[in-house]
Amino acid sequence: MSRVSTNNKSSQRPVSAQVARRRDLRRQRRQTLLLQLWRFVALLLLSGGFSWILLRHGWTLRSPEAVILTGGAGLESNQVIEAAKLRFPSPLLEVSPRELEQQLIGVLPVHSAHVQRRMFPARLVISLKPEIPIARAERRGPAGRERGLLNAAGEWIPLSDAVADPLTEIMVRGWNSPQRGQVAALLQQRNRFAGMLKAIELDPDGNISLITTELGRIDLGGEPALLNTQIETILHLNRTLPKHLRGAHHSSLDLSNPDRPELQLPAPPAPKQPKTEP
């Protein structure tokens, strides 16, 4: 009996103050952690809700007036908006500047496009650099002959009121994409021709001919690797040929082999036969 009573007394012995304090500190830490967790969740919900409201109602393109055009491309806002396929209202952050730039370059007669999103207030700033046409051009399309313009890279520019007049009077006939590089090389060296280059004719078989004021028709053939050499030969012949051989009516120059140019002059007219009296 004495042993049992002794055990009961020891189990009912009061907890020391140090142990109680540790328990209180653990309880307080748990409460502090729960409070911080609750604050974090509340802040996350509030920030998410605020962001959603801001995206849906704050950063929204509400009308065409929210689209600002710069760059002097000569295009109307409705043309750019239609080309960009913008709808209003539209969340600003759903607009991808890079994708929109590529779309505008592919549809509009512009050399480059730069798109910026402005947050306060919600605006879409579109800067368009106008295309500079160099020459007039013709090509065969599904509906027949089409007229257009070419830039310095030999790229086709559809006719439009927003496009300026070409810088030269050169006409490119039979334009096609595979020969664009050769056309570009000729247009980029146009100043070296000193105004004598009047037309570039492209054949479906790949041959290229030039119409000039001084040397008449020049047949270059269809070898792109010879083009630079052929241009140098043309300039050399224009400087060295006698004047009576330059500018001859209906003359032609075969430069398919630039090492052996062949100048063909028109046959002289046959002398008139004197009339015989009957």
Domains along the sequence of the chain with CATH: 60-130 (3.10.20.310), 135-264 (3.40.50)
Contact 251, 265 (CB under 8 A): yes
| Helical ranges in the chain per DSSP H | 2-11, 17-53, 77-84, 97-107, 180-188, 227-240
For 17-62, how does the pLDDT look when each residue is reduced to its tens digit (9 = 90+)? 787 788 888 888 888 888 888 888 888 887 776 666 665 555 789 8
Token pair, residue 163, equals: 């496009």
The whole-number average pLDDT for the span 56-80 is: 85
Say what the pTM is.
0.67
For 80-93, how does the pLDDT look when each residue is reduced to its tens digit (9 = 90+)? 999 999 999 888 88
Rounded Cα distance, 33 and 171, in Å: 80
Q: Per the omega criterion (within 30 degrees of 0), is the bond before 266 cis?
A: no
For 220-262, how does the pLDDT look when each residue is reduced to its tens digit (9 = 90+)? 999 999 999 999 999 999 999 888 777 666 678 999 999 999 9
Looking at the predicted structure, is the pLDDT value of residue 12 above 90? no
Contact 99, 83 (CB under 8 A): no
